Chain A
Amino acid sequence: MFDNFPLWPAIASNHALPVDLLYIFLVVLSAVMTLAIFATIAVFGLKYRRRHGREAHQIEGSLILEITWSVIPLGIFMVLFGWGAVIYFHERTPPRDSTEIYVVGKQWMWKVQHQEGQREINELHVPVDRDIKLIMTSQDVIHSFFVPAFRLKQDVLPGRYTTLWFHAIRPGTYHLFCAEYCGTQHSGMIGSIIVLNPADYEAWLSGGGGEGSLASTGQKLFQQLGCGSCHRSDTQGRGPNLVGVFGKPVLLDDGRTVTADENYVRESILNPGAKIAAGFKNIMPSFQGVVNEEQLLSLVAYIKSLQGSAGAPASNQAAAPNTSAKPRVK
């Protein structure tokens, strides 16, 4: 709004408007209520200020008034609750076919990997008018991905994936902040979100020196780590066939069923024993300390890409030693 004295953050995503509306409602509501209370105090204060010869009237209270001023606020509060919850629910349910982008936070930078293979640091290029879903994790402490212009924020946790989705509506460059205190350079963990027109975005995509798509990086890794020696595209492997697993329910050997989402795949690679697929033995080694967060994400992307008949896992690749993988940076 004003360069030096902003009163309103830019409005740049589909979430901005609903949040702003609720916010405006809240501002008006509380301004009215606060002014009403200030005014009442002022009026009483003047009208009944001490004067000689006037005495206070003793009043016990009034049940009707008490009920009124409990029930009416309660009603208003319930509206606020419902309204806020609806917005939140919408913010937390990404549309099915959103474009996925992977984000890793670490002290004190944001690392971004696109499906197409582009990598960025402290910058995120996204096209306007497309549903984008961010899948995020942290390499060390808790960070928080905050884009004021999108009215969005989500903590980024070590050991787990959290997600965020939006639909940018206006090209431009916007602030990206880390909003969870994460140590010395917390305030330096900032960057920009660059929202591009579709054409500019295509240009940007082709310009960047990507090393092949993320899934293909994952595929290479899959081969290097020897995953394929157990996970084959037929039913003969010692491990389950991973084609088509992602997004489906998996029956575990203790009888429970879980959905194979990003967190499940992640846990399966780092702590295979925690949840064992029914019908298999717990023979898969843990890859904790062998793959870092970014490699993990590429594996996830790869396993996700194994939908139906598309690229089957490389089946007869010999088990390669793990040395080629970079040790996990700490």
Chain B
Amino acid sequence: MSDSSEALATHELRHHFENMEQQSGASSMGMWVFLITEIMFFGGMFMAYLAYRYEYFTAWQEGSQHMDFWIGTVNTAVLICSSLTMAMAVLAIQQGRRRLTSIMLTITLCFAIAFLVLKGIEYHGHWLAHEFPGPSFHFAGIDPRHVEMFFVLYFVMTGFHALHVLIGIGLVSTMLYMNERGHFSADYHNPIENVGLYWHFVDLVWIYLYPLLYLIGHHHVG
């Protein structure tokens, strides 16, 4: 495309920056600032989790036993693998290997979709087990109300996480598309790097969600 090369030129150094280094430094710093707002956003939910776990210890133990341990564990592995491929995508474009970049981005996408599919299966299981909070919630064991609260937090936290995965899929797809159109090169690839940062952040959140939701009560069933 003719305008893509033009876009390339204008994207390389935007008028208000003095040089490329200032531009890419600003861009990655901006991304980090954005990510810490994300930390605080999830922080609010972790706060709720912490306070209630402190107050309703037994119910948390109970609730955690009703997680799907295997899906949770596999999903953890899936996200870690996707982080690797994302990192490889960034590496590839740093080296100017556009084709490899596209391949890596595609694999990342596959992992992301796999994660969501597994999550969907898991949610479906909870639905069948009447573990969705609300009027249909049913729990036979000890302290059902507080266990319901555990599930509320489970759905809120994993729900917001899944939303971030979804956004991530959108972003990675965009990168893939732009890369195919030749927007990126060894000299200019800030967007891919930033999407990479975003994606690793999504992984990071899950790394904490996994033990907090799936593992705390696991040994009782094990």
- Name A's B-contacting residues (CB within 8 A): 254, 256, 271-276, 282, 286, 288
Contacts and interface: CB of A to CB of B under 8 A. Distances in A.
27 contacts: A254-B57, A254-B58, A256-B57, A271-B143, A271-B145, A271-B146, A272-B143, A273-B58, A273-B59, A273-B141, A273-B142, A273-B143, A273-B144, A273-B146, A274-B56, A274-B58, A274-B59, A274-B143, A274-B146, A275-B58, A276-B58, A276-B142, A282-B142, A282-B143, A286-B144, A286-B145, A288-B145
Contacts of B59: 273-274
A256 B55 CA distance: 12
B194 to A, nearest CB: 42
A56 B95 CA distance: 61
Nearest to B147: A273
Given A272-B143, A273-B58, A273-B142, 5 more contacts: A271-B146, A273-B59, A274-B56, A274-B143, A276-B58
Interface string B122-154: 000000000000000000011111100000000
B182 to A, nearest CB: 57
Nearest to A273: B143
A157 B45 CA distance: 22
Contacts of B145: 271, 286, 288
A255 to B, nearest CB: 10
Nearest to A272: B143
Nearest to A253: B58
Nearest to B57: A254
Nearest to A288: B145
A254 B220 CA distance: 14
A60 B146 CA distance: 61
Contacts of A254: 57-58
Contacts of B142: 273, 276, 282
Contacts of A276: 58, 142
A164 to B, nearest CB: 23
Nearest to B59: A274
Nearest to B146: A274
A177 to B, nearest CB: 30
A286 B139 CA distance: 13
Contacts of B56: 274
Contacts of A275: 58
A254 B57 CA distance: 9
Most buried by B among A256, A274, A276, A286: A274
B55 to A, nearest CB: 8
Nearest to A274: B143
Interface string B48-70: 00000000111100000000000
